[in-house]
Structure 1
Amino acid sequence: MKATPKVEELTPYQGKNRCFGEYKCPKCQRKWMSGNSWANMGQECIQCNINVYPHKQSPLEKPDGLDVSDETKEHPQHLCEKCKALGHCCRRRRFQ
């Protein structure tokens, strides 16, 4: 029996769905939130151009607080590691 290589857990959330993430750039201390956060995927700091992983993630379904995704707000795909990996906007779900 072959052992499956363990994927390095870079984010608190390890599920398959999109979630709400909170980010803080270690270089410039800039903070942002995103409703397009994924397991083991980061977003680029717009000031420093470095990939930043979320320090906190929670489900999008949370009815209270800020943990809601605003689908009308434009998602900066050029800063999103998931979008770059998919080759299209990560909001557009594709099932294999």
Structure 2
Amino acid sequence: MKLTRQQFDEIGKFYLDGFVINSSDQDLMFKVFNCLPKHERMLAIEWGFNDTVFRDNVFEFLCKNQLNMSVDEYYKSDIFKKYLNNREFITIDFSKL
């Protein structure tokens, strides 16, 4: 089930702290959300965007899907260092989602 923007907004704000996308852009996060695997979307609908399991699962999914890395590899990567030092974001490749 994909959500409408209104349904998405009713759940709250969807942020991924520490991941290299601009998660303050809720238009982007709406698009990302609707491309997540169904079981992840259902978890958010049931428990909300702030649920730790949901956020951890999405973080891991995006590390693998967008960066081809594990979470541990991500935290050791130059991509993460650039994000920390300069707030450099990546562009989501929606064709991979």
What range describes the TM-score normalised by the shorter chain of this pair? Answer: under 0.3
TM-score for the superposition, normalised by structure 1: 0.28
Structure number with the bigger relative contact order (C-alpha 8 A, sep ≥ 6) is 2
TM-score normalised over the length of structure 2:
0.27
